[in-house]
Structure 1
Amino acid sequence: MASQPPVPRQEIRFCRAPDGVRIAYAVHGSGPPLVVDSCWLSHLQYDWQSPVWRHYLDEWSRGHTVIRFDERGHGLSDRGVTDHGLGARLGDLEAVVDDAGLDTFDLLAMAQGGPVAITYTHRHPERVSRLVFYGSYSGQPDKDPGEAEMNDTLDRLIKVGWARPDSAFRRVFTSLMIPEATEEQHVWLDELQRVATDADTARASRRERLAADASALLAELDVPTLVLHSRGDRMNSFEEARGLAAGIGGARLVALESNNHIVLDTEPAWDVFRAELRAFLQEPVAPRTVQQADQSTSGPADRPTDLDALSPRELEILHHAARGQDNDEIAAALHLSTRTVERHLSNAYAKLDLHGKSARTAAVARLLTRA
């Protein structure tokens, strides 16, 4: 087996979701932020050894700061978690974005991350500059009985064989994800399943993913969107991609000529993937003001001020500061870490050109004057 290239420097951080679950996330690369809404299986450290995933990590960081996380119950995030519902997963993404101190960013939804990314973008339209789906979907309701029977069979396979030393049962999932891979790549993905999570979590999280549905929100999204999907994907049908692209106004669908759910770096489809993604992420996006993105923050009668440069989260934190709350109290009220509150306040002061010990008082004074 060929030796692996050195792992680029990444910083691993932890934040807490609204229900207290610790979520591990990693930051690597430099440039505008690209948040990756994780797929089913991940491990922030182990992924760097991957002959299946490594080329994605390298590609994403060319010109971007990549923020990716292990979902609850997986990788370096808290294990033994029981709630894997859409609401809990949305809270995880919100916690990561806030802890990283991001105002606006591009969002890449991988596979089962689709419903979470859709719901997040619908809830926080001012923060998502561009939206990308890869091998993903909006929801999977009302499947035919044959597919339901297959899912029941896969559930039993996880229960019986996930933790076994041999990979015979896990190979079923590997063969669905990368049917045209080499044996080395198959073996690695077999092992990732065991390393990433336990059998009980794999079953529980998979059931919740099958139930997640955000399709009703698609028509309300107003963000530049790119949909990338393998034409022969056996995990998530290409029809799911058609549904995404048709449901979001202006979305563009790119079919990748591959049978692999995870396109490998030896396929022609990989060159198409990275060329399309690079071009899309470099397209200019018209800036949206706070008034355009969130009318609840600033009504149409408001006159533009320097406060309009602040994000809705920064304004929310300033409102709490105006009530006399200190940073710890604000963090508790908004289910954030104190460090995250401090980062948002620092960003707000910089935008308002305020410095020194009086910055907080001056910022609050401007807020109250505007009100």
Structure 2
Amino acid sequence: MAPRHTLVRYDGRGTGLSQRDGVEISLDRWVDDLACVVDSLSLERFVLLGVSQGGAIAIKYAARHPERVSHLIIHGAYARGFLHRGNPDKQRQFVELNRALIREGWGSEHDAYRQWFTSQFIPGGTAEQSRWFNDLERVSATPEMMERFVIELSTINVADLLPQVKAPTLVTHCTGDVRVPFALGQEIAAGISGAKFIPLDSRNHVFLADEPATRIFFDAVASFLGDPPFRGALPGTATFKERAQRRIAALERNWVIKAVAILAALAGAMISFLQLLRLLRQ
């Protein structure tokens, strides 16, 4: 998308390079964060893309600020979290299973626990791609924060807001999505007046660069926005490994910077303390 448009991405609160400590986790705060990003960039009208849980955030923002969203694109998303789907008791058990797995193994050097999540996000990935995704999960969020995410995401319900979305909307969803069932994407499209729905032949929740569904998605977005279709290789499409490597490196650099800052602050505090002792002894 970047070669044709200005693409803005940001890490949600509690994850990635954004603040992780002492932050409130809720759908309303995520929507407020999106609004802050939009306002800080002075965007009057813009195309809004929401993927996975970002879909619910985008839907609520579009319903709240119809004057700002020129087009809405939703992929692999849901309007109702786990606790608002199917049998409540079974869904609660599934949420508790997710929480237990996160507590036991999310931050571990051994990736067996995280592989359970990875197999839902990229079941069509190679062994190498799965290893990179396992590492990306570990450095993107702490176990404590990830458990809070699971709790909050399970309670999301923006189904009542779907009729309030006025922007032209494109909804895409992979037919075999293991993480977010295909029917949930259909539900979003059915609830938004005039929405266009495109099924994609894939089992992956996260696109892999070399699968046909990736090109179909980007061509659908181009058509929806009135852009010409892509010719040849998709511009700027890095391999999954390259994207994961860059992301992991950025996150690790951030923690090094924070560690240096903390050490510098401690050193400064120690120097000030020693100076104070000298003054008291004089």
Among 98, 123, 138, the residue aligned to 2:79? 138
Among 40, 45, 51, the residue aligned to 1:110? 51
Among 72, 92, 95, the residue aligned to 2:13? 72
Conserved 8 A contact 1:81-1:201: no
Residue segments in structure 2 that go unaligned for 5+ positions in a row: 228-282
2:260 paired with 1:260: no
- CA distance in 2: counterparts of 1:147 and 1:179, whole angstroms: 22
RMSD: 1.2
- CA distance in 2: counterparts of 1:280 and 1:95, whole angstroms: 26
Kindly tell me: are residues 81 and 133 of structure 1, through their superposed partners in 2, closer, same or farther at Cα, counting changes over 3 Å?
Answer: farther
Kindly tell me: are residues 81 and 139 of structure 1, through their superposed partners in 2, closer, same or farther at Cα, counting changes over 3 Å?
Answer: farther
- SS at 2:149 equivalent: helix
Map of 1:276 onto structure 2: 220
- CA distance in 1: counterparts of 2:125 and 2:32, whole angstroms: 35
**Aligned-residue offset at 1:143:** 3.5
Q: Deviations over 1:86-111 (max 9, x none)?
A: 11111110111111111110000010
**Aligned-residue offset at 1:269:** 1.3
Q: Partner letter of residue 95 of structure 1?
A: C
Conserved 8 A contact 1:82-1:204: no
**Aligned-residue offset at 1:82:** 4.3
Map of 1:241 onto structure 2: 185
- CA distance in 1: counterparts of 2:171 and 2:212, whole angstroms: 18
Instruction: Among all aligned residue pairs of Structure 1 and Structure 2, give the percentage whose two residues are the same amino acid.
Output: 37
2:164 paired with 1:220: yes
- SS at 1:121 equivalent: helix
Map of 1:166 onto structure 2: 110
Map of 2:230 onto structure 1: none
2:121 paired with 1:180: no
Conserved 8 A contact 1:108-1:133: yes
Aligned length: 224
TM-score by length of 2: 0.77
Conserved 8 A contact 1:70-1:76: yes
Flag the structure with more relative contact order, 1 or 2, with Cα contacts below 8 A and sequence separation at least 6: 2
- CA distance in 2: counterparts of 1:221 and 1:163, whole angstroms: 38
Conserved 8 A contact 1:218-1:244: yes
Map of 1:34 onto structure 2: none
Q: Deviations over 1:212-239 (max 9, x none)?
A: 1111011121110000110011111111
Conserved 8 A contact 2:177-2:203: yes
1:309-328 pair list within 5 angstroms? none
Conserved 8 A contact 1:111-1:134: yes
Q: Deviations over 1:225-277 (max 9, x none)?
A: 00011001111111111110100000011110001111212211112111101
1:138-157 pair list within 5 angstroms? 138-140=79-81, 141-144=84-87, 145-157=89-101
Q: Deviations over 1:175-201 (max 9, x none)?
A: 011011011110111001111110000
2:39 paired with 1:98: yes
Task: Identify, as 1 or 2, the structure richer in strand.
Answer: 1
